[in-house]
Structure 1
Amino acid sequence: MKKVSILIVDDHKLIRETWSFILASDPRFEVIADCGEPELAIELAAIHKPNVVLMDINMAPMSGFDATERIRQVSPDTRVIGVSMHSQPAYARKMLQVGAHGYVTKNSSREEMVRAIMEVEKGNKYICDEIRNIISEQMTDTATQAPDIQNLTDREIQIIHFIKSGHSSKEIASELEISLKTVEVHRHNILKKLKLKNTAALVNFINSNPSLY
């Protein structure tokens, strides 16, 4: 079985040595080189064409993002995994945008790093559990805060159509043959269900979501 060749790039020597020792102890992997300078990493990638590069994104004067782009140019088949202390999803997205196949934080376990290497070596994308959990929580929060459109009654949707057309509450009351007070109650309930503060916010919401009404 052919070993997965790995280049480790990190400006902290202890981290490079630690990962070199851990990965070299696994029969599936071969650490072909390690370095702490992005420019040297690009040269080594061009010479050795490693299967995988573990790339620290926080380096100077060239960042891991820039180095990843250059490595993908000189060795297109090399898969890059961004490694960082940052757990913000934006960093992971940026690494994938510049050509990386994976992203793990320095909180990730040895098992997860191995899993990431095996996945990207196959050509798959890999984002560590920590980042995926944060994205999941953000999506849940967004869903929780989303306007409760499904709970609008038919009459409330009808009134929204009138508001969209520029009708005043008095005109709506006349068109629907209901009292002005009833229209105002419906408008209040609409704002409450859509979690909006006032009519201006409602109009902006309607204009931003023309397909909903």
Structure 2
Amino acid sequence: MTSEEWRLVGFTAGMAVLATLLVLPFGVAVAWLLSRRSWPGKTLVETLVSMPLVMPPVVTGLILLQLFGRRGPLGSWLWETFGIEVVFTWKAVVLALSVMALPLLVRAARAAMDGVDGRLEQQARTLGAGEWRVFFTVTLPLAKRGVLAGTLLAFARALGEFGATIMIAGNIPGKTTTLSVAIYNLVQLGEDGKAWRFAAVSAVLAFISVALSERLTRGGRA
């Protein structure tokens, strides 16, 4: 592979890492709320969080485009308040990857927290620990394997994202083009050899991420 091709791989991996880190605190918080709390509208939140898993990614991308476009409610606010343009920039890539990766993180983290014995948390409260301390010293340590497994799955999903990314970020070489977008373009141009090289890199990265996630999940069950 040429240096330009490796730069594309590095850009995609970097965007996936950034997206995963951005959704990690939010995803863990949502997983905890879904696992440990009941409130009106909980089912609606569960459904909304899982929607990107079942909707066509291009539909998710279209929704993001409407929200964060220059005339969209969030996009116009960001532009008028901070002068930040999202659509067709690297920020749009991170946004698309984050939205598509979030459901996997939340589902894995929630499953891990559901497996934590609530009696241990209650014992910590009776000893005077507040909710934050219970979370960071009891719940999270016991659920850490599941959270890490979900983080790896989210990273793998971000690496392979295509539909939402092409809708909101487009295909601007050197600025928004990711591995999946590049593979699509190369196939359209008949450059199958180059496309297969990118596909092989994507498959290896995804395989490593999923394998580590499965290992963590099995270790947590044990």
TM-score w.r.t. the length of structure 2 is: 0.24
TM-score w.r.t. the length of structure 1 is: 0.25
Question: Larger radius of gyration, structure 1 or 2?
Answer: 1
Question: Which structure carries more helix by proportion?
Answer: 2
